[in-house]
Amino acid sequence: MFRAGHSARLPSQIRRTLATHASKPAPPATRRTWTKPEIQNIYDTPLLDLVFRAASTHRQHHDPGKIQLCTLMNIKTGGCTEDCSYCSQSSRYSTPTTASRLVEVEPVIEAARKAKANGSTRFCMGAAWRDLAGRKRGFERILEMVREVRGMGMEVCTTLGMLSPEQAKQLKEAGLTAYNHNLDTSREFYPEVITTRSYDERLDTISAVRDAGISVCSGGILGLGESDEDRVGLIWEVSKIIPCQRSSAYQRDPLENNEPVPYQTLLRTIATARVVLPKTIIRLAAGRQTLDENQQAMCFMAGANAVFTGEQMLTTPCSPWDEDKAMMNRWGLEGMRSFEQSSVARKEGDRLEVASEPVAPPSAASSEVRSSV
């Protein structure tokens, strides 16, 4: 653990070298077991020391100049029977969200093409369902969507509620790269957020996804009224299920009457997650548009290395492609290629050699990109 007193005794030239030109020895083995007190100690580290430690860890395992660009499409809006207290798609609350049927395949293909043309290398599809029970035809349509998007050379992710082991296997066979199933918060605070699905049911779906050979994307939401201990508890739970898996997504999305989470709390959570999950992709999700450019850059410094970009999240605003590419150009960042992370490439196996192609994000100054948006 880095402490302020240690760095203060170093000459300024050495401190700058450590901060901006970190050496790249062989990355240490990823630790697979953490205790809550250990993670709490990391979380409670003075913030600048914590960000320094997280940045150093990040550089041992990732290219700090690369950001994964992901685009999310809502393929079935509203009408969900769950009572997630943060979600406007729940049928139990009065919200502006209007329920709709599952979209057809062609609009999804068109949206994925547009995302790829704008530099996104992962395309995610979300459906507002508790599970897929009684939705055989809809599931078959989603499998076709997965096959089509994967055939473009993109990583493809879905979030469809709870899955059975057999459904997870079918998604894997169709070419699914990752499945998103958030834990939302700590086990202890979870009953304050949702009562219609248990924490263990969420973990069962994650187990089915992992056993099928699909990368797990799981994380949580900040701003639900949780405490620092709950944020630590969430990171601890995620560390147990995806110590070497693909990604953790954290969104800053307060409930209607809750106070927004302070920026330093968001930054502290990201930095702690990076230290505890050194090989994981850490994605900034809903709420990123509330951060100014300097705040986002600090999040990248602390270990965040993926964002959602494009026209819309599920029901919330999203930072547009052109704005994100211009920001990345100013900070010397570039987009990851599809399947650039080794853990995902290994899961793809022979399919990657046959079907995928490198995808380089276009320049923010490209008139062709602007005209296609």
Q: Give the residue ranges of the annotated binding site.
A: 80, 84, 87, 124, 157, 217, 283
**Annotated active-site residue in 231, 252, 268, 283:** 283
217 belongs to the catalytic site: yes
CA 76 vs CA 92, 155, 176: distances in Å = 17, 20, 18
Task: Choose among 222, 221, 219, 220: nearest CA to 242.
Answer: 219
What tokens were used for 351?
Answer: 């399919």
299 belongs to the catalytic site: no
Identify the burial level of 294 via C-beta atoms within 10 angstroms of its C-beta, where 0-12 means exposed, 13-18 middle and 19 or more buried.
exposed
Between strands 122-127 and 155-159, the pairing is: parallel
Q: 3-class DSSP state for residue 153?
A: coil
283 belongs to the catalytic site: yes
**Annotated active-site residue in 70, 87, 299, 318:** 87
254 near 224, Cβ under 8 Å? Answer: yes
Q: How far apart are CA 162 and CA 202, in angstroms?
A: 7
300 near 335, Cβ under 8 Å? Answer: no
Identify the burial level of 166 via C-beta atoms within 10 angstroms of its C-beta, where 0-12 means exposed, 13-18 middle and 19 or more buried.
exposed
Q: 3-class DSSP state for residue 301?
A: helix
Residues flagged as binding site for [2Fe-2S] cluster? 124, 157, 217, 283
Question: Which single residue is written with the structure tokens 């050194």?
Answer: 278
157 belongs to the catalytic site: yes
Q: Cβ atoms within 10 A of the Cβ of 322, count?
A: 17
Residues flagged as binding site for [4Fe-4S] cluster? 80, 84, 87
Q: How far apart are CA 116 and CA 120, in angstroms?
A: 5
Q: 3-class DSSP state for residue 202?
A: helix
Q: Which residues are catalytic?
A: 80, 84, 87, 124, 157, 217, 283
